[in-house]
Each structure stands twice: as C-alpha cells, then as structure tokens.
Amino acid sequence: MSYTVTLIPGDGIGPEVMAAAVRVLSATGVAFEWETEPAGIAAIGEHGVPLPPRTLESVRRNKVAFKGPTETPVAGGHRSVNVELRKKLDLYANLRPVETLPGVKSRYTDVDLIVVRENTEDLYSGLEHVVVPGVVESIKIITERASTRIALFAFEYARTHGRKRVTSVHKANIMKLSDGLFLDCCRTVAKQYPEVKYDEIIVDNCCMQLVLDPTRFDMLLLENLYGDIVSDLCAGFIGGLGMAPGANIGEHGALFEAVHGSAPDIAGKNLANPMAVILSGAMMLDHLKEHAAADRVRHAVHTVLREGTKLTRDLGGTAGTTEIAEAIAAKVTG
Ligand code: NAI
C-alpha cells in the first residue's frame, strides 16, 4: 500500500527540514508517493499567489499533507498561507504535543502536555479596518459551533489517549461575551466526559503557572490566539522550536507541520534542526494508522538525542540538518 501525500516544502528552512523528514520517513519502509506543491513566498514567483489553487486541490484530493513553514510578511503583504489553508480546508484542530525528550538540556523535566488550539476563527479572521485615521478595529469572532467542535476534539482525544484533565484557557473576565461563549461550550462538552477532569484558568495566570511548573497541567484547550502564543511558550520547555511537532486536523483531511516558522536567520545554511518536522512526520504515520513505523521514528529520534553526538546548533551541537537526518534514518533502519 502506498500513501499519496501532498508535500509542501515552504520557505526559508522549509525545503531543508522537509527533505530531512522525507529521508527519515522513507527509511521506515512505508511507501509514500509525494505530490510536491508550492506555497508561500516560493509560490509567488511562479504562480503569482502564495497559495496556488493546485496546492489546495492536491490537499483536498489526498486528504493528507506534510508542510514546511511558509513566510508571512509583517504588517502588510499577503495573508498567511497557514491561516488560508486551515480555513479553506476547515482544519479546525491544531494539536501540539509537548513532551520532554531524552538528552535535551532544559530547566524543565517530565513535561508531558497536549496543547489543543482552535484553528479557524478568533482574531485570525483577518477582519481589520481603519475606522478613522489613527483608529483601527480588529474583529474577534468566537462561535458556538467552532468552540463546541474544538472542545469535543479535546475531550475525545483525552478519552482515547488516557488523558486525565482538560484545562480551558481564557480571558473571560475581560472578554465576557466572546471568551464567555467559549467557556460555556467547553463546560457543556465537559459534562459529556465525566471520566475526564475539567477546569479553567485565565491566560495570564496560565503563562505564569506554566513557567513555574508545566507538569501541573495535562491538556490545555485554547482559542486560536492564546493557543498560538502558549504553544510557542511550551516549546521552550522541551528545547525550543526545533523540537515541537504539530498537526492540523479536520473532518476531511489533516496537515502535519512543525510549530516553528521559516527561520530566515538560519535558512540555507544546513543549521536547522529537522527533529520537529520529523516528529510531525511520526504524527502523520499515526494518523495513517502506521503506528509501528511512527514508534520507530520517535524511538530513532530519542536514541540520537540520548547519544548526544549528533545534535544541531540549537541543542548545543555542531551537526548539520542533513547529518541529523542520516543519523535518524540509520536508527530507523537499524
Ligand atoms: P521562527 O520559528 O521561524 O524562528 C524563531 C527562532 O527559532 C529563530 O531564531 C530561528 O532560528 C529558531 N528556529 C526555528 N525553527 C528552528 C529549527 N528547526 N532549528 C533551529 N532553530 C530554529 O519564527 P519567526 O522568526 O517569528 O518567523 C519567521 C517566519 O516564519 C515569519 O514569516 C512567520 O510568519 C513564519 N511562520 C510560519 C509558520 C508556519 O508556516 N507554520 C509558523 C510560525 C512562523
């Protein structure tokens, strides 16, 4: 059996880390047919737009995509390809596991968190306008439908993965209506899952509590913006962005990508850590029900980390992206 997957190399370090991940996935023996499609700055030159229709069609057809980071200009320029992809394909659940990895130096140990972020609305609706010169309005959309759906995703995940507690993160003391609606939906869904504990925390306090002791949380359930910020914060517990994998999941498809961006500061230098995308690849294997292969990939990453002789610069080593890929691929086959 062969899986046809849309492969989006992306911008900056994207092509380097994606090539590394493809190398490791091919070492599992699981057969992939990669449909390579452009997106991001890389696509504008040839196709005139950052998200060409052919790329969307490919993901719609294959239902599974493996994506490198894409660059989004700050304050102006085109809209984020990620936001477009997540909305157009209705990939409503962003799943970001944050787990302490062997051998990685960090002030934190035994971190084992699951961050579930709503992916389609909130302040990412892109509804911004100038009211009068000097006054800008940016609209935050929260709906009962999307909030209920993401809460159901989180509690179903908890039930099927033996998680004990879901904590909703909010600012309903200030945004009483929007975050209030989000919390109402979470509470209603929580009642359907009596075996999973449910509690709530205000987002600023959550950040402080996380930095003090991330092990006091199990699963975090957040709206889009808080989820974006808090998941980067959580990546800091496990060695940084080079180590944090992710998945965007919907009813009709799934897209796997690391939490990190295109890292223009280190692009094209063979310095990027490919482990986050390789671990995202393991999540993709799990999604395809290739659990044994997924476990082999994770085990190979852990072994390379534990040995500590082949590490990229962000982890204190001197190895290049390609060397790490070869070392992990060798453990997968070995
Ligand atoms: P970034 O994640 O690209 O980089 C932040 C810092 O982490 C940089 O110092 C970078 O060198 C380092 N870093 C990131 N990934 C690394 C890796 N694999 N190995 C070693 N070091 C790594 O975030 P930044 O600078 O805020 O964003 C750069 C661009 O990426 C922006 O255009 C942004 O919009 C885009 N972006 C795209 C994402 C996606 O496509 N999913 C997600 C986040 C940002």
Averaged confidence pLDDT in the chain: 96
Of 228, 310, 314, 331, which is the active-site residue?
228
Q: How does 104-113 read in b/e, with b if 16+ C-beta sit within 10 Å?
A: beeebeebeb
Beta bridge partners of 34: 5
Same CATH fold assignment for domains 1-97+241-334 and 106-238:
yes
Above 90 in pLDDT, residue 322? yes
Please name which of 198, 193, 209 lies closest in space to residue 159, comparing C-alpha atoms: 193
| Distance between Cα 264 and ligand 1 center (Å) | 7
pLDDT of residue 25: 98
d(CA 47, CA 120): 25
| Distance between Cα 314 and ligand 1 center (Å) | 13
pLDDT of residue 42: 86
pLDDT of residue 45: 86
Above 90 in pLDDT, residue 36? yes
Query: What's domain 106-238's architecture?
Result: 3-Layer(aba) Sandwich (3.40)
User: Which of 81-90, 177-186, 203-212, 251-260 shows the lowest per-residue confidence on average (mean pLDDT)?
Assistant: 81-90
pLDDT band at 224 (very low <50, low <70, confident <90, very high): very high
d(CA 21, CA 275): 8
124 catalytically annotated = yes
Above 90 in pLDDT, residue 79? no
Which numeric CATH code is attached to 1-97+241-334?
Answer: 3.40.718.10
Above 90 in pLDDT, residue 80? no
Q: What is the pLDDT of residues 56-74, one digit of tens each?
A: 999 999 999 999 999 988 8
d(CA 302, CA 299): 5
Provide the angle, in degrees to the nearest 10, between the axes of the packed helices 321-333 and 291-307: 120
Lining ligand 1 with CB less than 6 A are 13, 17, 69-72, 82, 241-242, 257, 260-266, 272-273, 276, 314
- For the chain, the domains span 1-97+241-334, 106-238
Above 90 in pLDDT, residue 228? yes
| Distance between Cα 242 and ligand 1 center (Å) | 9
